[in-house]
Amino acid sequence: MVSHHAPSPTAPNTESVDVVRFSFLVRNPALDHAAFLDHYEKIHGPLAVEQAGFRKYTIEYVQNHCLDKIAGVTWDIDGVTATTQLPRTDYGVGFFQEPDYAKVQVDERYLFDLGQVRSVLARRHPTRGEGGSYKHFALTRGDAHTQLIEAVAPRRRRTSVLDASTSSALGFGSADFDFDVVTELWTDEPVSTLPGHIDAHLWRMRELVMIPLDSSDPTEKEER
């Protein structure tokens, strides 16, 4: 088997930019979407957070549950995990190399279609704006990111620049990935469509923040 960890990007050169691992999750075909989300929230999330190897490298763990496919969606994902990484010089070394990852890997094999999952490192820039009750999650290429923001006019947004060279399929080496930017957008009303000229994949999400890893109860959650 090839090495699990992805190639390492250069370490961030500013304190205002976080390194985040986004994992785009496709469910095991044996599960329906509702069963996947229930297990992802109640079993898989707490299981990961309980592992010392996970907490060693991770500042924050966020689950994004797909509620609606809005535009351009040809990739049928069911959720997106975002783990903010503890700053270090080599981001290719992480939880995947820890002994207790084996406990989580068993559940991954049950929950995911591993060949379709993509895990990618990104540089996440600070949040702009505030407010917004509905969260949306977009993948774009080129200047579509700017067009998307202009069309949606979100109350709050957060942009992450993806490093496609770090894409892996959760333990099965490098994997194709051709998007440049993740944009998280919060609006007062759910977005229902986008202008046809915008090349964006857009979902509406339910976000679950697993409380920071120094919490007395690592399975406690906060929805926002």
The rounded distance, in Å, linking the Cα atoms of 78 and 68 is 10
Residue 155's nearest CA partner among 184, 176, 126, 175 is: 184
Contact between residue 112 and residue 26 where contact means Cβ atoms under 8 Å apart: yes
Residue-wise DSSP of the chain: ---SSPPPPPPPSSTT-EEEEEEEE-B-TTS-HHHHHHHIIIIIHHHHHH-HHHHHHEEEEEEEEEEEEEES--S---EEEEEEEPP-S-TTSSGGGSTTHHHHHHHHHHHB-TTT-EEEEEEEPPPEE---SEEEEEEE-TTHHHHHHHHH--SEEEEEEEEEEEEE-SSS-B------EEEEEEESS------TT--EEEEEEEEEEEP-TTSS-TT-EEE-
**Full-model pTM:** 0.86
One-letter amino acid of 23: S
How open is the CA angle 127-131-137, to the nearest 5 degrees?
60
pLDDT digits (tens), the chain, 224 positions: 233 343 444 444 444 789 999 999 999 999 999 999 999 999 999 999 999 999 999 999 999 999 999 988 778 899 999 999 999 999 888 898 999 999 999 999 999 999 899 999 999 999 999 999 999 999 999 999 999 999 999 999 999 999 999 998 875 678 888 899 999 999 999 999 999 899 999 999 999 998 574 544 444 444 44
- 85 vs 142: CA distance, rounded Å: 25
